[in-house]
Amino acid sequence: MRTICFYFQVHQPFRIKPYRFFDIGEDHHYWDDYSNRSIMRKVAQKCYIPMNNLLLEMIHKYNGAFKVSFSISGTCLDQLEAYAPEVLESFQRLVATGHVELLNETDGHALCSLKSKNEFHNMVKSHQEKIKRLFHGYQPKVFRNTELIYSDNIGEMVAELGYDGILTEGAKHVLGWKSPNYVYQNSKNPNLKVLLKNFQLSDDIAFRFGNRTWADYPLTTDKFVNWINAIPQEEEVLNLFMDYETFGEHQWAETGIFEFMRSLPDAVFKHTNFNFSTPTEILKGARTVGKISVPTPISWADEERDLTAWLGNDLQDEAFAKLYELEDQVNAIDDAEIQRDWKYLQTSDHFYYMCTKFFSDGDIHSYFSPYETPYEAFINYMNVLSDFILRLKEKTAALPKAKKKKI
């Protein structure tokens, strides 16, 4: 079996509104409702609606032989329910075909797998329940951690939760001479299978497609199929993982990205010996070639494929540490608004905005950030966190003595 696995990450964070020092203790609503709604509506029109319609058309055209998979973050699902219910319905129609697989992740698109096993389990369970509620009892079998962050220990935690497989980056410094085009096993629990992103071919679509200075511009289906055919015959799996917003948002419709995707399956079926599969189908049908050792976490971000997009500078580390100092207090409080804000404050994007990289990946970070500088992002976030801490203290003071002792 030689097969292509298309995986798309669908994510929108709840962006924080400008929150000043003088708002602390006075204003407990942190979220920029106008920006969140307008951005969701814009991305829905440019990406989600046209691309979902295209995928549905392609699934029907090829009688289910064309397949894709999605991970839709919990924060994105919440915004779809609130701001774009017609988009949520279009995702539901795709899943109902039986040729689209949904994956689980952390509900808040959080970095909790790096800090708290308990919070990680809570976030995964919350996302499981949300997927089950919104997609008619659907239960994912494969996991995708936030930002494809993975290590041996994270894989072991995912295996304990009963998943068959996990997706991550085919990072060069981990693979060495090995190829990402095989199925591997977690080094601590071989029952968990690992699918690795082929970053070269994935990023040709996601990042380079509309770049007129790229040596291989323009990217045509014929060219892409030639690259696919150059993969050695013994390498069975080509994992093309990317943000869903690639289509129409990062790569505008004018680049021809939709036409490229519309014509790609036909070119693959006619001119290669590849088909298309979902992650679960691959795990059932492909052979594993051995364990992969990832002692230090990797991700799919930046040239380094490490954690430095979110953690590593003083701003990020201070905000991250301060946030997770609050975990026990939050868990002791039964308050829907506290729990919602706790979840949304964990979203990885807030830490991404604090990144101080200014060289190889600086332009990418600037593109995604609503702030003028990383320092502005840090101050805004810490102001919000200061107010959140005041609320926790107030709620904690009202708890029974027995609960207070556990904090």
Total count of domains within the chain: 2
- 52 in any annotated domain: yes
250, 283: one domain: yes
- 308 in any annotated domain: no
173, 319: one domain: no
- 297 in any annotated domain: no
34, 166: one domain: yes
> Per the residue annotation, which of 101, 105, 147, 169 is the catalytic one?
147
The per-residue pLDDT for 359 is: 45
CB contact set of 395 (below 8 Å; sequence gap of 6+): 333, 335, 338
86, 180: one domain: yes
Active site residue 147: yes
327, 219: one domain: no
241, 367: one domain: no
Q: What is the pTM of this model?
A: 0.95
75, 137: one domain: yes
Neighbours of 304 (CB within 10 A): 16
Task: Return the ∠ at Cα 344 (arms to 342 and 346), rounded to 5°.
Answer: 75
The per-residue pLDDT for 361 is: 46
pLDDT per residue of the chain (407 residues) written in tens, 0 to 9: 799 999 999 999 999 999 999 999 999 999 999 999 999 999 999 999 999 999 999 999 999 999 999 999 999 999 999 999 999 999 999 999 999 999 999 999 999 999 999 999 999 999 999 999 999 999 999 999 999 999 999 999 999 999 999 999 999 999 999 999 999 999 999 999 999 999 999 999 999 999 999 999 999 999 999 999 999 999 999 999 999 999 999 999 999 999 999 999 999 999 999 999 999 999 998 899 999 999 999 999 988 999 999 998 999 999 999 999 999 999 999 999 999 999 999 999 999 999 997 644 444 545 568 999 999 999 999 999 999 999 999 999 888 876 666 66
Joined together, the tokens standing for residue 383 give 């102001």
327, 273: one domain: no
Question: Which among 235, 229, 227 is positioned nearest to 196, based on CA atoms?
Answer: 235
Domain region containing 351: 314-399
Joined together, the tokens standing for residue 130 give 């949300």
- 59 in any annotated domain: yes
221, 264: one domain: yes
The domain boundary, picked from 258, 292, 326, lies at 292
351, 274: one domain: no
CATH number, domain of 125, equals 3.20.110.20
364, 243: one domain: no
- 149 in any annotated domain: yes
244, 388: one domain: no
The domain boundary, picked from 292, 325, 360, lies at 292
- 304 in any annotated domain: no
- 404 in any annotated domain: no
- 405 in any annotated domain: no
